[in-house]
Amino acid sequence: MTSTSPHPRPTSFPPLERRAPEAVGIPAAALAALADRLQEEGLDPHALLVARGGVVAFETAWAPYRLEQPALVYSVSKTYTSLAIGFLVDEGRLGLDDSVGDLLGLPNPHGITVRHLLTMNTGHSPEQIERYGFSPAGLLATAPERAPGTRFAYNSPATYALSAIIARLAGEQLTAYLRPRLLEPLGIGDRWMSSVDGIETGASGFHLTVDDIARTAIMLGAGGVFGGAQVAPRAYVDEMSRVWSDTAEFDGPAAAEDEVNDWSLGYGYQMWRSRHGYRLDGAAGQFGLIIPESDLVIAYHGATLDTQATLRAFWAFVDAVAVADAATVDAEAAPTSKIPVPTALHVSHDTWDSRADLGILRQAPFDADGLTLTDTADGWTLDLPGVGELKVGGSWTETEVEFEADAGAAAAGKQAGTSGSVVDAAGIADPACSSHAAPTRLVLATRGERRDDGSVLIHIVDTTSPHRAIVHRAADSGAGAVDAGWHIPPLGGGWEILRVPASVLTSERADTARPESAAPAGNPGDPAGNAAAPAETTAAALLLDMDGTLVDSHEVVERLWRQWSEGHGIDPARTLSIIHGRQGQDSMALLLPDRPHEVNLAENRELLAAETAQTDGVVAIPGAAALLAALRGLPHALVTSASLALAQARMDAAGLPVPSLAITAEDVTRSKPDPEGFLAAARALGVDPASCIVVEDSPNGIAAGLAAGMRVIGIGPHAAGTGATWVVPDASGIRVASAEPGIAVTIGA
């Protein structure tokens, strides 16, 4: 049995529909003006997606940020915690007026309820909240200054207490509980949320793309419906955006004189009311805006302390759409009634273009002790305290910095204000959720320039968060003397709290190739378009995997395996995490270790027959046809875990020729990650395995190629971090030509 690589997005729903702006009644000029305004006002925009009627009309990212890169969204996380509470209510497992103490097994002398937590109306003052921090026991024990339900105060520890309730009642972490109920139905891929004392914070720490936020906002705006199905409980969704707390006196982001302050319009169940509609809202400018009156959704990542200015730009855009609607010739025509154009407006920007407007926040602490900047032949070497040595050039260069598990790495899962925990009292800590014992990493992009006056400017961007550091060296300061600081500082610490678990897929990007001499796998090119230099090498033969490498068959594979899992009482997510690249009977043996092998073989034959018969939606991976055409007459082979019949069916469906040598399931006794298939292909071609290059997409296949002693070109978003020699987005990143002896191979741009 064969499968495509683990897909970054569950396949319950396809990608959001995309149309040109005018097809959904949005003037393209208004979108361009919005993007320009965000940049020109120095608001440091990172990613933006605009949808109308559930259809994406515009999307853009500012390099080095990418639309497909999940990034820290701070308090946008709170809305997902609220939705988890809504599911528990819908399942009859709690009521909003239940005692928090009863739910957590803690004393609750002041009668604080779930509703008080949801609405941030526990009665505590900001000073009290700061003192008890992320401790549900401390929250319940602290006598509030006012009666619960009578005073709003922004209260992240209250949201953390909600996450603790979810973990206790559900027996699993917040995001695990949401995975089958919300995240998979919305088509949101694997994501990570930071934890405190083994419990996901709920209040912050979720890492999402703007597409993830847009899907959630579209669902909320439709009363919990997405893709024609009721995803979230309608009654709870309807209540989430109501004004449950008066925020008129909230000391939030400042508004201009005589301007309506968007933080004074009321608070619902972990959502803010807005001048238009309501919103998911995270620190420094992470937004999901739901605007029912115009059927608009805006999803956004950015980094500014002037978040009211960001909303001001959005409201100007909303007003422009309203003006366009009013000017429609046929007043009865819906905005989506025009002839559709198939693609959304998708443009690229670069944060580097705004560097003159992005300065250092002087009052924010920054560890610059020991920081040095050294000139090199092609740029600079930056030794950054808490991070290490980084290479800097004249275009964006992304580097993944790995950190071993140690006490310092524990801070990656922490938030400011931790004091005590519900863990000891309630016994619900989940060590697997904590990053304390796991290796971590930073994903950093660097860029620099030498200015006309001889000074040097360097930006270091953490692409999994809103944050960047800026380094400036004056012309006459010498090699080591620099000025450095945060543009917008992380909440609660420095580089250490921005680390993400090394085991977590934080990027769904399509990496460009890395040279063979590069140390870390997956050295991507510049997202602004300045790609890394292509790698050139030779090979005795190319050995190509099929699913995920040449053909995309994930919809069929995952549908059938989900059905198989459900029939055997196995979590489909667990099944999908191990099947890719393996033969079916081997996957079954891992999932049902006590079952006779004969049963696995029989069931796998049934699955193979179903897969062979179902080829609708099987298409060629970009560049696959051109690569196979260029390989005609050159030594190459197909090496797949599929049967010969299945391989032929899928290649035919994708319009691709099957190479004259195909090593299929019938030719091996052990499937990937065992190297048997690749070694068999090299033997059949009569070439040295060490001179071969494998082209693979799945971690199992890449491991098999490396175990065979071969170099590996990893294809697609899941090849990064697997140890592949090079990583490219798809087969179009590989070019071949005849060489003596063998094949000349160019990898990358």
Give catalytic residue positions. Answer: 545, 547
Report the DSSP pairing between strands 45-52 and 296-302: antiparallel
Q: What's 363's DSSP letter?
A: T
Pairwise CA distance, residues 454 & 472, whole Å: 11
* Alpha carbon distances (Å) from 158 to 129, 561, 634: 9, 40, 64
Q: What's 560's DSSP letter?
A: H
Q: With CA atoms as reference, report the closest residue to 236 among 297, 182, 175, 304.
A: 182
Helices (H), 133-252: 136-141, 156-170, 174-178, 184-186, 210-221, 234-240
Calculated CA dihedral for residues 170, 174, 178, 180, nearest 10 degrees: -60
Reading the block at residue 405, the tokens are 């598990």
Question: Could you give the count of Cα atoms lying within 13 Å of 608 in the half-sphere of its Cβ?
Answer: 23
Q: How far apart are the first and last CA of the chain?
A: 34
Q: What's 547's DSSP letter?
A: B
The residue to which tokens 């959502």 are assigned = 271
Q: Are 108 and 99 in contact (CB under 8 A)?
A: yes
Residue 128: φ, ψ to 5°: -65, -40
CA 245 to chain centre: 32
Pairwise CA distance, residues 90 & 79, whole Å: 16
Q: How many beta carbons lie within 10 A of that of residue 392, not counting itself?
A: 24
Kindly tell me the burial class for residue 605, based on how many C-beta atoms sit within 10 Å of its own C-beta (0-12, 13-18, 19 or more): middle
Q: Are 456 and 450 in contact (CB under 8 A)?
A: yes
Pairwise CA distance, residues 314 & 480, whole Å: 43
Proportion of the chain in helix, strand, coil states, percent, rounded to 5 = 30, 20, 45
Helices (H), 293-402: 307-326
Give the type of residue at 249: E
Q: With CA atoms as reference, report the closest residue to 581 among 677, 712, 713.
A: 677
Pairwise CA distance, residues 736 & 238, whole Å: 57
Reading the block at residue 489, the tokens are 């500082």
Reading the block at residue 663, the tokens are 């090593």
Give me Rg for the CA atoms of the chain: 27
User: Helix, strand or coil for residue 686?
Assistant: coil
Reading the block at residue 13, the tokens are 């729903």
Report the DSSP pairing between strands 541-544 and 692-696: parallel
